[in-house]
Structure 1
Amino acid sequence: MSEVSRKLKIGIVQMTSNEVIEENVRLAEKLIRDAAAKGADFILTPEMTTLLDFGTKQVMEKVVPEDQDDSWPRFAALAKELGVWLMIGSIAIRNGDKAANRCFVFSPDGKKQATYDKIHMFDVDIPGDKAYRESNAYQAGEEAVLVKAPWCKVGLSICYDLRFPHLYRSLAQAGAEILTVPSAFTYVTGKAHWHTLLKARAIENGAFVIAPAQVGDHRNGRKTYGHSLVVSPWGEVLADLKGEQGTEVIEIDLEEVSSARKRIASLTHDKKIVIKG
């Protein structure tokens, strides 16, 4: 990617993580290398890249504070070796009595450029599935995060955040042209809502939405939807990894953001709503 180009190659990683951290790290490293070999400038992995949670007790037995975790430094070194921007969708990091569901972004020099702790906890009862209580093990984050990359500003989010459009609105109005949504969406909710929600976030903010995802049957009995997506600012699905582990690299042109926002300038048209009654 040239310095003046508004084009870049996005590499999305789709994987089936389990309860063994080292296995997941090695798989992620393999897939990241594959995406880099295909020419990706910016590579993104799913939520819970290194440990797909399988119960509060088990999670807390495995997680350590950030300064003791050895997975993210390996990813930092890999970003430097490959000369790419790298987003690890999330790593479970001990944060006091609970864990943080934390996203990491590394630049091609191997430096940690940003972290983001998932704000919205997945505490739901899904008909036809089961109850999930993410807040039993994880502490919610409190701050939205914007990353200044060479090509544009990138807004960070994780999975269940997707259902809270004001987060993306705030990121877009702060200058984000790419919105990232690394996820481990359940199969039931993914089949019903995944494509629709991601397309909506892209359209209403005139931004590219990049959503690397977990996929398939996990050893803890969980089933995730997959379908890692890249969606254009006009709502077009540019890439869909469907139901298999792997990678895909696709070139995007950030001039499409300017074009979409000029055609429908809704980001500048917000009104304060007064409700009567």
Structure 2
Amino acid sequence: MLTMASKFRIALVQLAVGVSKSDNLARAAKLIKEAASGGARVVALPECFNSPYGTKYFPEYAEAIPGPSTDALSKAAKENNVFVVGGSIPEEENGNYYNTCTVYNPEGSLIAKHRKVHLFDIDVPGKITFQESEVLSPGNQLTFFNTPFCKIGLGICYDIRFPEMALLYAQRGCKLLLYPGAFNMTTGPAHWELLQRGRALDNQLYVATISPARDDKASYVAWGHSSVVSPWGEVVATTEHQEAVVYAEIDVDYVMEVRQQIPVHSQKREDMYRVEDLSDLDGVE
């Protein structure tokens, strides 16, 4: 049974991702080491940390798990004695492709694997059209893991837009949600921070988002701005769009303090509301 510590330091690695997988892995390992030296106990990487983001890249860079990229994560976790949340990689299994996050404990053991549940299929006329489902298959489960600090829930990018998922994590005891993501130059300025603050405030827990650094020459340009938001809905750590390591102190006791001050989670919501069928009323379709 884990003995919980009330505070710990997290590091978000806003990695500059290029076309060379080996360079991406080496750069990630270097920055994980830097983050551990900076006192982080949990280090998180961005979505598609080993690969450029894009449907044309997923099959080319995809790996089985375990494979070279996840072996590098396991090694980095063990060498630096930290939990490593491996952003995501394109995963191949039985001819299907997934957008998958793996998590390793300080012994280098795989303790969680999350496949992106909600695929990024959008069409904003004149700005961006993207269809992950052209190549990827969706995951179908919640994923959370225990640490000596708290229980942590995982989502990947578009998963953050679905409040039910975050609520289910909160109901299962998570105090921190991690969303490796690669919002773009259309949705990033409009929704990135807003969604983080909404998920944190609604569920009275910490939310951390980890983006790749921005590459204006890439076919898909990431917004950046990796951030940590508190249970009060405040942005407590963030950065701009360049490669960076973002540090934040996570105070698990503060989660409970906020929940005691505004006790929305003590309400049994399913018992509070009566749902009526209004379909027979005039003007209701």
TM (normalized to structure 1)? 0.93
Q: State the Cα distance separating 1:208 from its structure 2 match.
A: 0.6
User: Which letter maps to 1:9?
Assistant: R
Q: Which residue of 1 aligns with 2:24?
A: 24
Q: Determine the C-alpha separation between the residues in 1 that align with 2:248 and 2:227.
A: 11
In terms of Rg, which structure is larger? 2
Q: Which residue of 2 aligns with 1:110?
A: 108
| Pairing of 1:131-210 with structure 2 (within 5 A) | 131-210=129-208
| Pairing of 1:7-46 with structure 2 (within 5 A) | 7-46=7-46
Percent of aligned positions that are identical: 33
Q: Which runs of 5+ in 2 are unaligned?
A: 280-285
User: Which letter maps to 1:151?
Assistant: F
Q: Which residue of 1 aligns with 2:282?
A: none
Q: Which residue of 2 aligns with 1:54?
A: 54
Q: Indicate the larger mover: 241-250 or 224-233.
A: 241-250
Q: Which residue of 1 aligns with 2:283?
A: none
SS in 2 for 1:187: coil
Q: Which residue of 1 aligns with 2:5?
A: 5
Q: Determine the C-alpha separation between the residues in 2 that align with 1:195 and 1:55.
A: 25
Q: Determine the C-alpha separation between the residues in 2 that align with 1:174 and 1:110.
A: 25
Q: Determine the C-alpha separation between the residues in 2 that align with 1:82 and 1:209.
A: 24
SS in 1 for 2:46: coil
Q: Which residue of 2 aligns with 1:274?
A: 275
- Asked whether the equivalents of residues 54 and 220 of structure 1 are also in contact (C-alpha less than 8 Å), the reply is no
What are the superposed Cα offsets for residues 91-135 of structure 1, whole Å, 9 maximum, x if unpaired?
111023331111111110111111100000000012342210101
Q: Which residue of 2 aligns with 1:64?
A: 63
User: Which letter maps to 1:274?
Assistant: V
TM (normalized to structure 2)? 0.91
Q: Which residue of 2 aligns with 1:76?
A: 74
Q: Which residue of 2 aligns with 1:130?
A: 128
Q: Determine the C-alpha separation between the residues in 1 that align with 2:103 and 2:143.
A: 11
Q: Which residue of 1 aligns with 2:212?
A: 214
SS in 1 for 2:58: helix
- Asked whether the equivalents of residues 156 and 181 of structure 1 are also in contact (C-alpha less than 8 Å), the reply is yes
Q: State the Cα distance separating 1:268 from its structure 2 match.
A: 3.5
- Asked whether the equivalents of residues 10 and 43 of structure 2 are also in contact (C-alpha less than 8 Å), the reply is yes
Q: State the Cα distance separating 1:275 from its structure 2 match.
A: 5.2
Q: State the Cα distance separating 1:59 from its structure 2 match.
A: 2.3
Q: Which runs of 5+ in 1 are unaligned?
A: none
Aligned pair count?
Answer: 273
User: Which letter maps to 1:70?
Assistant: P
Change (3 A) 1:214 1:199: same
SS in 2 for 1:52: coil
Q: State the Cα distance separating 1:20 from its structure 2 match.
A: 2.3
SS in 2 for 1:215: coil
Q: Decide which of 227, 233, 236 is 1:235's aligned counterpart.
A: 233
Q: Determine the C-alpha separation between the residues in 1 that align with 2:4 and 2:96.
A: 44
Q: Decide which of 259, 262, 265 is 1:261's aligned counterpart.
A: 259
Change (3 A) 1:150 1:188: same
Q: Determine the C-alpha separation between the residues in 2 that align with 1:125 and 1:16.
A: 26
